[in-house]
Chain A
Amino acid sequence: MQAHVKQRVSYTPEPQNITLRIAREGHVVGEFQALGGPCEVLLDLPGLDDARHFVALAADEARRIEAKFSRYSASGVVHRINNAKGRPVTLDEEAAALLDFAQTCHRLSDGAFDITSGVLRRAWTFDGSDRLPDPAAVTALLPHVGWHRVNWNRPELRLPLGMQIDLGGVGKEYAVDQAARQLSAAGISAALINFGGDVFALGPRANGEPWMVGIDDPRATGQACVRAVPLYRSGLATSGDARRFLQKDGERYGHILNPKTGWPVRGAPRSVSVKADSCVDAGMLATFAMLKGPDAENFLKTEGAEHFIIW
């Protein structure tokens, strides 16, 4: 036998549009804008130069996914699907995998998670006011909502006229996990990725300690943390309505909509954070819990997922 060992060498080009600093705790923080918000990568590396490369690797991945899957990106596949005017669109491997995944999530949530429910935003504007939509306008949109109306025959997708899809409910988490995969393949383990609040820790810090992640208080967003979560190697994601809600007659209407009624899920928590093996898992579990309304806590308990709920 000949058990030869192959030298693993990977080459990646050099980076831009990133700011770097060294935090008090000694790690490097790389910041950039992507996926519609601030993103950061925390790394335990001694030098900024080394870190720049790895932060860029994560940034490139975030921007690649944004360009491909954001519904605002005119060159992206979601844009192409939403503007196909009832014609079938052939998807590549990655887009098809995301749709398959969305379909699985639709099934696992008994139809509550639905990537076609974005159409309802035409009726709903969650601006903290008391301006509820006209119930008739909501009802009028319902025929354009529902994954069961979509013709998904991998790799071909045909959306009935008037329907749209939005992968915003999974895109950011997906980007976090893919960026983590890139860093991991580049040999990095002491790092934490945070794309707009969706987090994945690739491994403990260089000193063996966990990364500490604070969970934002939705009642004082940006100013206070309700809890510090230690992460060694796992994902953490939060679903919540920090500023996106309506309030009328003492009743709060969160931005999580039930695709079957077109109305917000009643009695849902203000914020659900879940820790799971991947960021996508964490994000989906948090979303599913939100969609369960008052049963959010029970659901997460039954699933055995470590969670933090704020009512």
Chain B
Amino acid sequence: MVLRKLLASLIAAGALNGCAMMQSVQPWEKDLLAKEEMQLVPDRIEEFFDSRVYFSREAAFGGKGVGGGGCGCN
């Protein structure tokens, strides 16, 4: 049922596109979005350290992409 919930939320997000209220952002309006710091993972090493530390200290993991982990953490 989590899956179902999720699909519903993904479909809702997809529907945002077709939503008449939302104007699609034009390429020349992407000056802010094109900045390096607007990337989803602006600092890979920071991201790596975080995922590594928290992966070894908490039960939950992942979410940003596939894979990750791979340590015999005590």
Interface residues of A (CB under 8 A from B): 1-7, 9-14, 49-50, 53, 186
Choose among B33, B67, B68 the residue that contacts A9 (Cβ–Cβ < 8 A).
B33
Additional A-B contact list (16), CB under 8 Å, known A6-B41, A11-B30, A53-B28: A2-B51, A2-B64, A4-B41, A4-B44, A4-B47, A7-B33, A7-B40, A9-B30, A9-B34, A10-B34, A11-B34, A12-B28, A13-B28, A14-B28, A50-B26, A53-B26
7 contacts between A and B (CB under 8 A): A1-B66, A3-B65, A3-B67, A9-B33, A9-B38, A10-B34, A186-B27
Per-residue A-contact encoding for B17-32, CB less than 8 Å = 1, 0 else: 0000000001110110
- A2, B27: Cβ atoms under 8 Å? no
Interface size on B, residues (CB 8 A): 20
A-B contact count (CB 8 A): 51
- B67, A1: Cβ atoms under 8 Å? yes
Residues of B within 8 A of A13 (CB): 28
A185 to B26, CA, bound (A): 14
From A1, which residue of chain B is reached at the shortest CB distance? B67
Residues of A within 8 A of B48 (CB): 2
Q: Output the least CB separation between A28 and chain B (Å).
A: 15
Asked whether any CB of chain A lies closer than 8 Å to the CB of B74, the reply is: no
Choose among A4, A6, A10 the residue that contacts B64 (Cβ–Cβ < 8 A).
A4
Residues of B within 8 A of A1 (CB): 66-68
A3 to B68, CA, bound (A): 9
